[in-house]
């Protein structure tokens, strides 16, 4: 691998992340482990354009295949709701750039992440496994089905807008487990927390509205 391929972080980027964390605090994010993870994870590693001035503002930006990396606020919001404890098994649906995946890893989770678009899966795999050396399980597949052979999970996070809560995901959640999923068919989705009880029963809490790219069926090449 040539030196030009090595990802570099420096004081300039760290300074921009400090500012980003302050902006998130002002917007109401108070979870210290989540803010620490955002401070630690070099956001510019996940973009094709590390010099983009918007990268460290609270904005979403484009990645390959017409997808986006979520707003830092959205990542922080969902990560806070997930209440990740060290060593917990977390299923993420929608790997995308791998940024949210990386935040979960910094929170100490054992992460299993699925992406339906082959080029994004491949890119995230090269970055997280080969370049950055994280221990993470990445899958190319349809997140509507979850990962039955690795279930049950302590937590499930869905990072695309789901028209409904997929039944297999509810099944694959541990009793007492939490799922965080944006639900809605139109332009906007309602951030929803599902807390699983016994006998596949669950409690649902609906929170703020967000705009996500849609959760689509079937994997694509």
List residues with catalytic annotation: 70
Of the two residues 114 and 156, which places its CB atom closer to ligand SAH in the complex? 114
**For the CA atoms of the chain, what is the radius of gyration?**
17
Site for ligand SAH, residues 27 to 66, rule: CB under 6 A: none
Residue of 87, 136, 76 lying closest to 109 (CA atoms): 87
Q: How far is the CB of 218 from ligand SAH (least distance, A)?
A: 7
Length of the chain: 221
**Among 79, 117, 189, 192, contact with ligand SAH (rule: CB under 6 A):** 117
**Among 100, 172, 189, 192, contact with ligand SAH (rule: CB under 6 A):** 100
d(CA 190, CA 179) in angstroms, rounded, equals 13
Q: How far is the CB of 108 from ligand SAH (least distance, A)?
A: 18
Residue 102 and residue 130 in contact, taking contact as beta carbons nearer than 8 Å: no
Residue 181 and residue 159 in contact, taking contact as beta carbons nearer than 8 Å: no
Site for ligand SAH, residues 149 to 188, rule: CB under 6 A: 159-160
Site for ligand SAH, residues 59 to 88, rule: CB under 6 A: 67-70
57 burial via Cβ count (<10 Å: 0-12, 13-18, 19+): middle
The footprint of ligand SAH (CB under 6 A) covers 67-70, 93-94, 96-97, 99-100, 114-117, 120, 142-144, 159-160, 213, 215-216
């Amino acid at each position: 691998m040539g030196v030009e391929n090595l990802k570099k972080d420096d004081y300039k980027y760290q300074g921009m992340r400090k500012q980003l964390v302050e902006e998130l605090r002002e917007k109401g994010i108070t979870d210290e482990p989540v803010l620490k993870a955002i401070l630690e994870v070099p956001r510019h590693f996940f973009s094709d354009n590390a010099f983009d001035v918007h990268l460290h503002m609270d904005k979403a930006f484009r990645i390959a295949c017409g997808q986006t990396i979520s707003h830092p606020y959205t990542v922080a919001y969902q990560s806070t709701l997930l209440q990740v404890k060290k060593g917990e098994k977390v299923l993420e649906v929608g790997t995308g750039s791998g940024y949210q995946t990386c935040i979960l890893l910094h929170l100490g989770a054992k992460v299993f992440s699925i992406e339906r678009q082959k080029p994004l899966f491949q890119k995230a795999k090269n970055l997280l496994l080969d370049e950055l050396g994280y221990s993470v399980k990445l899958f190319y597949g349809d997140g509507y089905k979850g990962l039955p052979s690795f279930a049950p999970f302590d937590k499930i996070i869905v990072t695309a807008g789901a028209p409904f809560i997929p039944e297999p995901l509810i099944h694959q959640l541990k009793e007492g487990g939490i799922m965080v999923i944006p639900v809605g068919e139109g332009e906007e989705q309602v951030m929803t927390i599902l807390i699983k009880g016994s006998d596949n029963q669950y409690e649902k809490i609906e929170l703020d509205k967000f705009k996500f790219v849609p959760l689509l069926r079937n994997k694509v090449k």
